[in-house]
Amino acid sequence: MKFLKNIDSNDILPYISTTGLILIICSVILPVPVIMMVQDLLFFSYNQTSFIRPQEAYLGFGGAMLLIALILFSFLFTKMYYDKKDKEYNLTAVHLVLFVFSLVLLILPIYHYHYFDDQGVHSNTYWTFSEESIAWDDITEVSREVREEDYAVLSYTFSSDEQSITIPFDYSDSDTNRTINYAVEALNWDVEDEFVEG
């Protein structure tokens, strides 16, 4: 920490400005391939009938990269200001805490996913690192959120006596569509529609 506090802003200018610009550019390009590759490496199984990567995972990863770039630029510009005024720099700890927090925000989207397999429905929501599961036989109620204006299905909610898991739905995802339709028919569920505006 003393090293960062005492370093001259002119020495770090080319490194931080280059890194920040690369992070900004990569925040648009990298989220989709990185999330897909890392989630496949960590969570892929041949037993899964459908694996869903929510859009929030991509947006969160890109947003965290932008946040890291902003923190780096904030560190650089405040350091330059303090050097120009010839004052002792005292914001190092603040920037380090923000940087560590942004790294956590970068990791969280990797653990945001849903999938179906032979056992049931599984989900890991955005702000957790733990997976929730409901076995097919434990599901007591199934509902789906339907947009009122065009009757598009937005999500399915699977409920047991103890918990509920909501899975986003996309008609273009044939694996998810097929899995849900098969489960509804095989387990003879009555699916309740919940209409929402917009």
At 161, the pLDDT band (50, 70, 90 cuts) reads very high
* Nearest residue to 126 (alpha-carbon basis) of 63, 62, 54: 54
pLDDT tens string 125-153? 998 889 999 999 999 999 999 999 999 99
Q: Exposed (0-12), middle (13-18) or buried (19+): which is 136, by Cβ within 10 Å?
A: middle
Q: Give the pLDDT of residue 8.
A: 75
Give the pLDDT mean for 73-101.
Answer: 92
Using the predicted structure, report yes or no on whether residue 64 has a pLDDT greater than 80: yes
* Nearest residue to 143 (alpha-carbon basis) of 167, 117, 177: 167
**Long-range CB contacts (within 8 A, 24+) of 41-45:** 42/110, 43/113, 43/115, 45/117
The distance of Cα 139 from the centroid of its chain, to the nearest Å, equals 26
- Residue 181: in which H helix or E strand, if any? helix 174-186
Instruction: Give 87's DSSP letter.
Output: -
* Nearest residue to 124 (alpha-carbon basis) of 136, 138, 109, 137: 109
Using the predicted structure, report yes or no on whether residue 76 has a pLDDT greater than 80: yes
Task: Please give the tally of structural domains in the chain.
Answer: 2
Which of 111, 126, 158 represents a domain boundary (last residue)? 111
Residue 60: how many CA atoms within 13 Å on its side-chain side? 21
Q: Give the pLDDT of residue 63.
A: 98
Which of 89, 111, 133 represents a domain boundary (last residue)? 111
Helices (H) and strands (E) counted in the chain, each on its own, are 6, 8
pLDDT tens string 175-194? 999 999 999 999 999 999 99
Q: What are phi and psi of 158, to 5 degrees?
A: -105, 125
Give the pLDDT mean for 94-110.
Answer: 96
Residues 20 and 87 in one domain: yes
Give the pLDDT mean for 15-25.
Answer: 96
Which of 61, 87, 111 represents a domain boundary (last residue)? 111
Residues shown for the chain: 198
pTM above 0.75, yes or no: yes
Helix (H, G, I), strand (E, B) or coil at 197: coil
Give the pLDDT mean for 14-21.
Answer: 94
Using the predicted structure, report yes or no on whether residue 4 has a pLDDT greater than 70: no
At 159, the pLDDT band (50, 70, 90 cuts) reads very high
Residues 100 and 136 in one domain: no
- Where in the sequence is the domain holding 122, given as residue range(s)? 117-196
Using the predicted structure, report yes or no on whether residue 10 has a pLDDT greater than 80: no
Residues 185 and 128 in one domain: yes
For residue 102, the cross-strand partners are none
Q: Exposed (0-12), middle (13-18) or buried (19+): which is 64, by Cβ within 10 Å?
A: buried
Amino acid of residue 144: R
